[in-house]
Amino acid sequence: MTQPQPGAPAGAADEDRPAPRRVLLAVHTGRADIVGLARSAAARLAEAGIVVRLLEDEAEAMAVPGAEVCPFGPDAAHGVEVVLVFGGDGTFLRAAEMARSTDAAITGVNLGRVGFLAETEPEAVEEMIAAVQRCEYAVEERLTLEATVLDAEGRPTGEGTWALNEVSVEKVERSRVLDVVLEVDGHPLTSFGCDGILCATPTGSTAYAFSAGGPVVWPDVEALLLVPTNAHALFARPLVTSPTSVLTIAVPPDGTRARVSADGRRVVDVPDGGRVEVRRSERPVRIARMNPTAFGDRLVAKFGLPVRGFRDARSHGPGHEAPTGRTNVLTGDVNTSDGALRTPEEVGGGHPDGKA
C-alpha cells in the first residue's frame, strides 16, 4: 500500500490506495444454523481485510459488526467482487437478481435440499472462504433468457423479464386448459392443450424442466430447452434448440388467462390472444467455481445415481438382486441389500457370514 510522501498533497495516498475488496452475503435468515454459518464466514472475511456487505432485511438477524448495509436491488452488488449465498437454490436465484447487472460473481453454500446452483457443501465452507481470500476461483458465464410479452396485435407490452433457470408460460386458472401454438424461429411447430410451457437454460435443466421430464444438459452446453408440462397431445416431447433460436408461445383469444413466471420469482401477465418470445439474453450470470468437481460427479452425488453395473453386485437369487443404488462416488462403496456399506471387493466376494 502506498504511503504518503513528504510534501504530497492531502489525499494523495488515498488516490493510490487500491479499493478494498467487497463481498456481499445473501443469507436464508429463517434458519439459525444458516445464520451462524454465515456469521462465521463474515468474521473470517473481515479478519482478512475484506469488506462485508449485508442486505437491509437480513442485517438485523446477521448482526455483523462493521458490515455495510444496503437495500435489496440491482445496486446491492455494485462494487462487489463476489456474492456469497448461504441457503438453497431459491436464495441463489435471489442473489442472481442483484449480481446480474454487475461484474460480481456468485457462489454459494448448499443449505437447501438438492441445490445444484450452490455447489459448496457446509463442511467445505472454510475452504470456500480461503479460496475467496486468495482469489483462487474460476468464473463461468451462464446463459440466461430474455422474455418479451406481445399483445394480440404483435406489439410489445413493455413488460418483459429474464431468467437464469427457466421462463414458464402457464395457465392462471387451475380448472382451465391452456391452448398454445409453438413456433421456433418464426416457423409454426405444433399446438396442443397443456398446463404450460417451459423454456429453460442448461443451468435450469436440473430444476423445473427436469421435473417436467426434460433432459439434463451440461451447463457449459449452449442451447435452449422447450419442455411442455402436462400436454394433452401425442407429440409433446422436450426439444433442444440452438442458443440463437427464438421460441414463441402464442395463446388464443379465448379468455383463458396466462402468465409468465421467471425462475418462480418474477411474474408478468400475458394479454388475451398475446404471445411470449423467449431468446438468449445478452447478459449472462457469472458463477464463481471454487473446486474442479465435474458436473457429472455432482449429478451422481445429488441424485444418488448407481455408477456400478448391476452385474457387479452379487445376485441374491431370482427377484432378489442386490441393489447398487445410493453409491458413494467418493469412495466407490456400494449399499448392499442388508443395508451395509461395503467395498466393491467385499460385494464381489459374497456376504461375510457366508450367506448368498
Spot the catalytic one: 14, 16, 89, 185: 89
Same domain, 128 and 59: yes
Q: pTM of whole model > 0.85? A: no
Same domain, 176 and 87: no
pLDDT of residue 310: 61
Residue 259 among known ligand-binding residues? no
Number of domains in the chain: 3
Same domain, 157 and 93: no
Residue 158 among known ligand-binding residues? no
Domain that holds residue 320: 305-356
- Structural domain contains residue 294: no
Evaluate whether 129 touches 106 at the Cβ level (below 8 Å): no
Residue 235 among known ligand-binding residues? no
Same domain, 162 and 115: no
Same domain, 237 and 332: no
Residue 206 among known ligand-binding residues? yes
Please state, in angstroms and rounded to a whole number, the distance separating the CA atoms of residues 268 and 167.
11
For 96-113, write each residue's pLDDT tens digit: 999 999 999 999 998 877
Domain boundary among 248, 283, 318: 283
Same domain, 133 and 75: yes
Q: Tens digit of pLDDT per residue, the chain (356 long)?
A: 323 333 444 444 455 667 899 999 999 999 999 999 999 999 999 999 999 999 999 999 999 999 999 999 989 999 999 999 999 999 999 999 999 999 999 999 988 777 788 888 888 999 999 999 999 999 999 999 999 999 999 999 999 999 999 999 999 999 999 999 999 999 999 999 999 999 999 999 999 999 999 999 999 999 999 999 999 998 899 999 999 999 999 999 999 999 999 999 999 999 999 999 999 999 999 999 988 889 999 899 888 888 877 666 554 544 444 444 444 444 455 444 454 555 545 545 555 554 44
pLDDT of residue 312: 61
- Structural domain contains residue 102: yes
Residue 133's domain is classified under what CATH number?
3.40.50.10330
Active-site residue, 89 included = yes
pLDDT of residue 214: 97
- Structural domain contains residue 295: no
Residue 217's domain is classified under what CATH number?
2.60.200.30
pLDDT of residue 293: 84
pLDDT of residue 5: 37
- Structural domain contains residue 89: yes
For 148-171, write each residue's pLDDT tens digit: 999 999 999 999 999 999 999 999
Same domain, 121 and 214: no
pLDDT of residue 144: 98
pLDDT of residue 340: 54
pLDDT of residue 346: 58
Same domain, 130 and 149: no
Residue 95 among known ligand-binding residues? no
pLDDT of residue 261: 98
Same domain, 163 and 131: no
Residue 195 among known ligand-binding residues? yes
pLDDT of residue 15: 58
Same domain, 22 and 137: yes
Same domain, 165 and 221: yes
- Structural domain contains residue 342: yes
Residue 242 among known ligand-binding residues? no
- Structural domain contains residue 156: yes
Residue 67 among known ligand-binding residues? no
Domain boundary among 142, 157, 175: 142
Burial (CB < 10 A; 0-12, 13-18, 19+), residue 166, is buried
Same domain, 315 and 269: no
- Structural domain contains residue 168: yes
Residue 165 among known ligand-binding residues? yes
pLDDT of residue 320: 44
Print burial letters for 95-111: b (CB count within 10 Å at least 16), e (below 16): bbbbbbebebbbbbbbb
Domain boundary among 96, 111, 142: 142
